[in-house]
Amino acid sequence: MTSKILTTSAGAPVADDNNSISAGARGPLTFDNHYMFEKLAHFNRERIPERVVHARGTGAYGTFTVTRSLKDFTIADFLQNAGQQTEVFVRFSTVGGGQDSSDYARDPRGFAVKFYTKEGNWDMVGNNTPVFFLNDPIKFPDFIHSQKKDPRTNLPNPANAFEFWANHPQSLHQMTILMSDRGIPLSYRHVHGFSSHTLSLYNAKGERFWVKWHFKTNQGIKTLTNAEAAQMPAHGAQQDLVNAIDRGDFPSWRVEVQIMTEAEARTYRINPFDLTKIWPHKDFPLIEIGRLELNRNVNNYFAETEQVSFAPSNFVPGINASPDKMLQGRLLAYQDAARYRIGANVNQIPVNAPRCPVNHYQRDGAFAGMGCPVGHGATAGAGATAYPNAAAAVDALNFYPNDRTANGAPAPVAAVAPPPMPALENAWIGYHDQSEEDYYTQAGDLFRIMNHEQKAQLFNNIAGGLSQANTDIQQRMLAQFAKADPSYAEGVKQAIAALV
């Protein structure tokens, strides 16, 4: 039988569906990734109107307080001095389920923080795990499809998830976390948060540093077993957060960073931009730099929590991207998803509106000129009104360059530009296969620090789903576990046998 050729939606044959085009094996993606863009753009439009992922969530306002200055590493205004406070909005979520799903699914938890700084909004879009299932965005739609309901039965199908993981060893580290005792948090107050991605900082000297962000819960980590989770109300995590804040029991997190120089990154034994891998703390210790506290609930869930929009591309001067391939894909995909769900003027919705003057030449579109509430804005001026995100200008300008910048029309400021992004020397742009990467060592390291009870939970949680897959998929997964640690594979094998 002739095998079918994978094509684009326009019918053109696809050369590689596993790797995006990048400038070298560790380099950033290039703009000729039209097939990856097509997949992500189509994926963002598969559901109307709830989020395709992270649909079920809850959020609250709070404050971020600097406890240690980062001015040696960044020009970001809100990180200059100890004691500085910045208003934030944080949204927690499950990933795979819809709005009608349970807060207690075995699933990663989204941990997204919007910092309303004086120089614009910075969105730290992360999860409660320091790694992710993938390191290339071209596979994200396929991964989520494998986790969602089966397209034929519209029922959960664990075999599909393990079939995907069997074909993608890069998922092993995150899958091990998901199937461990950390897979079902007791509440959103009892989870850590991570940028997961490698981001960058740059200072007034033009020096760039690579950085990972960590938010460590001061409430402690608390989790549930499968049996305990089954007894919890579907909305329990949302109710817990709302009630805690209402009674004045404000949850908080220690904010810490890991920092790596560009020179260290060039010779480090681990690809520092691989989202499936951590930076070991012994090599890059955690540095405590702040405190995050949530202290105010929303007034209208739909207007605020449901319409809040986070995008990794919302940077401020002093914070920027890295060659992390997943991050590079999300720089496009998150904004695209928001424009699809909410519209081109998503940043004019009050919860998304910057708390500083906004001056640009974007015009029109649905809901243009909504503005934000009085008190959130800044002084009106050329190109801005008292509603800082409103797209109105004194002379109704909608183009740049123009001859009126001397009279107050908006103009760029070259001083805030990030340093040029480094690329590997003599890097070739093309598909770079990652099948020989080591995706097993860190998963094995995690397994070996688990105690007996934690390992037993891991084995049983994996066996429950993997036992529903066919023998070939089981054997390929067991081979991955064995590469991480032989005891890992043996424990899962015995757990599956116990279910027969």
Catalytic residues: 54, 127
The amino acid at 391: A
263: left (phi over 0), alpha (psi -120 to 50) or beta: alpha
Alpha-carbon distance of 252 to 258, in angstroms, equals: 20
Are the C-beta atoms of 217 and 244 separated by less than 8 Å?
no
Distant-in-sequence, close-in-space partners of 470: CB < 8 Å, separation ≥ 6: 159
Q: Which of 422, 450, 405 is nearest to 180 (CA)?
A: 450
* Residue 12 C-alpha from the chain's centroid: 31
Q: Which two tokens stand for residue 14?
A: 């696809």
What distance separates the 2 farthest-apart alpha carbons in the chain? Answer: 78
DSSP string, 72-119: TT---GGGSSTT-EEEEEEEEEESSS-TTS-TTSSS-EEEEEEEEETT
CB 124 within 8 A of CB 81: no
Neighbours of 198 (CB within 10 A): 25
Residue 121, classed as helix, strand or coil, is strand
472, 463, 468: which is closest to 490 by C-alpha?
Answer: 463
Q: Which amino acid is at 474?
A: Q
- Two tokens at 435? 């099948």
318 contacts: CB under 8 Å, gap ≥ 6 = 74, 75, 76, 77, 79, 201, 202, 203, 416
Is residue 357 within 8 A of residue 379, CB to CB? The reply is yes
Distance from C-alpha of 192 to C-alpha of 220, rounded to nearest angstrom:
9
* Contact present, 326 and 132 (Cβ < 8 Å): yes
99 touches 55 (CB < 8 A): yes
Number of H helices, E strands in the chain: 12, 12
CA–CA distance, 132 with 143 (Å, rounded to integer): 11
The H or E element that residue 147 is part of is helix 140-147
